[in-house]
Structure 1
Amino acid sequence: MIRKELRIILLSLGISLLLTLAKFAAYFLTHSVAILSDALESIINVVAGGFACYSIYLTGKPKDANHPYGHGKVEFFSIGFEGAMIGIAGVLILFKAVQYFIIKPELLQIDQGIWVISSTAVVNLLLGLYLARSGKQLNSITLSGNGQHILTDAYSSAALIIALVIIRFTGQTWIDPAVSVVMGVMILRKGYQLMRQSISGLMDETDMQVIDKVIEILNEHRHRTWIDVHNMRVQQYGNNYHIDCHVTLPYYLELSQAHEEIKAFEQLVNRELKGHEVEFFIHVDPCIPALCQYCQLSECPVRSHPFRHKITWTRENVLPNRKHAVD
């Protein structure tokens, strides 16, 4: 899988480099600041693509003594770096646009510029869609982040084409820096979103969608001996997840029986959470009499209270560090 990701990102890097050269050629033909803005953003595509290559290579390395959870966290550095580069490009674009408001340029060969930018926009659109789809299929946030960036580039190029066509037929050159300002703001927003995603991953912010999926799996395939699950925490390392939780089992189970129950718990989630490898650290709690009220083990030989009702696991009762109590 890692080799496939590398092939995809290397393809993206090569295409981005060619498109960047084409956009700079269009800028030198037309002297359009909006085209220059598009070219500057494409430079970021190339730089970010190079960092993404290294990120995917590092993610594929096995766990070692210094990295017991693997190297997957580097993907969050990758999208953070890409977000920072996008932000820098946005600032440069806004700065250049302000300059062109003050000193109005003479635009040349608009027709050629339109054709060149149109061609790069189509290629970027196809490449961005391919990267986004591949990132989803391979569960790679690096590919997905790179795809989102390139799609943003394609959309901004589309807006640029519209502006160039209007300038071509109206001669209103002020539209050129105005469009550049809009593009700069859009690019800054995308950079912020990627930085936010990076910080969330590095700070181990809980992905509630993953939590909900794991809880859904456990509710659907619940063993009667799994009396209680609580204190669940999820950390993401690239394409892998690390989950800590407490599982309450009948206190009279032998060690080998408890081991088999926990093994079944781990295998269930790994089987149903397709496309991800999940590592568990599970703390086993012995049951207490208060839990009999919702324990579904009808043949329990030590039951001290009658069964009252089943508790459906939700994020509200699985995440806190306490056993589920029934009043």
Structure 2
Amino acid sequence: MNNTSINYTHDHVFLGSAHDENAKRTLWVVALTVVMMIGEITAGYITGSMALLADGFHMATHAGALGIAAAAYAYAKRHASSQRYSFGTGKVGELGGFASALILGLVSLAIGVESVMRLLQPTQVQFGTATLIAIAGLIVNIISALLLGHGHDHDDHDPHAHHGNDNNLQSAYIHVIADALTSVLAIAALLAGRYLGWVWLDPVMGIVGALVIARWAWTLMGVTAGVLLDQTDAHVAEEIRELVEKPGDATITDLHVWRVGPQAHAAIVSVVGKVSTNADNIRERLRLVHEISHLTVEFRSG
């Protein structure tokens, strides 16, 4: 008699492969952001620069958003094996990313409103000091971007390109890039104001920055919301249909495919097929779909 037992149980830990590493990078960026935030806000008030002040407050809200990202990593790790979550905590990062995107959108609105007010009511700006602080802020942003971007392909850092990546890290990266953008715009405006007398360019750059940041926020909200609402992954679903459905052999009657983690998908496949086909056979066909980490197959002969 064969006493070998088969273990049919499995866990639901769908955290990204670089979860711990990304968490550490995010914490470093939070620390850098907080230090620079204090410096820019203080300098913005002292020098009277709207572009610099906007960058400082922008960085302040980013510090909060990056803090959310760091907290999401910690929570997902701590509760990864909790029975409270049917499919684990792989999507906690998406929730953090959505919250960060929402904050990013509110920041862009605040910067836009304040910039318009400064455009209508110009104030005196100490261009020299403000420029030096803005340059320091840009350097911090570059260091932060390198910390968050190390080890990933260039295309993955495009704010408008979202593949199967960690959207929690993606949101943190976009916050840093947005900070870098506002720093660059602030530097350009301050230099133009100092050497060309274009004082009006300072608030105008604030408006431009607000519009670009708002677009990034909207894109990130759309991506993370899709994951949180279990949006069907069309590519994986199509691959499943191609492998399972065969004329006169098997037909899919119900199919659900959704993301449960940065690099993990779950699928529920209901199939009607010939008596000679069975659930194990369907599972074997789907071994080629590497994106699926949790598969449920329902088979009926017909």
Secondary structure at 1:83 match in 2: helix
Q: Which runs of 5+ in 1 are unaligned?
A: 289-327
**Where does residue 154 of structure 1 map in the other structure?**
180
Which whole-Å deviations, capped at 9, do the CAs of 1:263-312 have from their partners, x for residues lacking one? Answer: 4345432xx33xxx6101111132x5xxxxxxxxxxxxxxxxxxxxxxxx
Alignment pair present for 1:85 and 2:103: yes
Secondary structure at 2:36 match in 1: helix
**Where does residue 282 of structure 1 map in the other structure?**
297
**Where does residue 308 of structure 1 map in the other structure?**
none
**Where does residue 9 of structure 2 map in the other structure?**
none
Residues 132, 148 of structure 1: 8 Å contact kept: no
Gap change, CA 1:279 and 1:224, over 3 Å in 2: farther
AA aligned opposite 2:97: I
AA aligned opposite 1:232: L
Which of 136, 143, 149 is the equivalent residue of 1:119? 136
Residues 232, 245 of structure 1: 8 Å contact kept: yes
Deviation at 1:42, TM superposition (A): 0.6
Deviation at 1:251, TM superposition (A): 0.7
Question: 1 CA distance for matches of 2:83 and 2:232?
Answer: 26
Deviation at 1:144, TM superposition (A): 1.2
Deviation at 1:227, TM superposition (A): 3.9
Residues 121, 158 of structure 1: 8 Å contact kept: yes
Deviation at 1:166, TM superposition (A): 0.9
**Where does residue 190 of structure 2 map in the other structure?**
164
Question: 1 CA distance for matches of 2:62 and 2:265?
Answer: 28
Greater RCO, 1 or 2 (C-alpha within 8 Å, sep 6+): 2
Alignment pair present for 1:40 and 2:57: yes
Q: Which runs of 5+ in 2 are unaligned?
A: 1-17, 157-162
AA aligned opposite 2:257: V
Deviation at 1:44, TM superposition (A): 1.6
User: How high is the sequence identity, in percent, across the aligned residues?
Assistant: 19
Gap change, CA 1:213 and 1:249, over 3 Å in 2: closer
**Where does residue 123 of structure 2 map in the other structure?**
105
Question: 2 CA distance for matches of 1:234 and 1:133?
Answer: 30
Question: 2 CA distance for matches of 1:250 and 1:133?
Answer: 51
Mean Cα displacement is larger for which, 225-234 or 179-188? 225-234
**Where does residue 16 of structure 1 map in the other structure?**
33
Which of 143, 147, 150 is the equivalent residue of 2:169? 143
Question: 1 CA distance for matches of 2:29 and 2:238?
Answer: 34
AA aligned opposite 1:7: K
Residues 29, 147 of structure 2: 8 Å contact kept: no
Secondary structure at 1:143 match in 2: helix
How many residues matched? 274
Question: 2 CA distance for matches of 1:143 and 1:120?
Answer: 21
Gap change, CA 1:207 and 1:129, over 3 Å in 2: farther
Secondary structure at 1:70 match in 2: coil
Residues 121, 157 of structure 1: 8 Å contact kept: yes
Question: 2 CA distance for matches of 1:138 and 1:189?
Answer: 21
Residues 26, 117 of structure 1: 8 Å contact kept: no
AA aligned opposite 1:82: S
Superposition pairs of residues 280-319 of structure 1, within 5 angstroms: 280-286=295-301, 288=302
TM-score normalised by the chain length of structure 2: 0.79
Alignment pair present for 1:190 and 2:200: no
AA aligned opposite 1:31: G
Deviation at 1:54, TM superposition (A): 1.6
Alignment pair present for 1:243 and 2:240: no
Residues 185, 206 of structure 2: 8 Å contact kept: no
Deviation at 1:86, TM superposition (A): 1.2
**Where does residue 313 of structure 1 map in the other structure?**
none
Question: 2 CA distance for matches of 1:82 and 1:278?
Answer: 27
Deviation at 1:123, TM superposition (A): 3.1
Secondary structure at 2:119 match in 1: helix
Gap change, CA 1:139 and 1:190, over 3 Å in 2: closer
Residues 240, 286 of structure 2: 8 Å contact kept: no
Deviation at 1:210, TM superposition (A): 4.0
Deviation at 1:99, TM superposition (A): 2.5
Question: 2 CA distance for matches of 1:159 and 1:63?
Answer: 45
Question: 1 CA distance for matches of 2:40 and 2:65?
Answer: 17
Alignment pair present for 1:28 and 2:45: yes
Deviation at 1:225, TM superposition (A): 11
Residues 246, 283 of structure 1: 8 Å contact kept: yes
Which whole-Å deviations, capped at 9, do the CAs of 1:17-68 have from their partners, x for residues lacking one? Answer: 1221232243134210111111111112110111111211222222433211
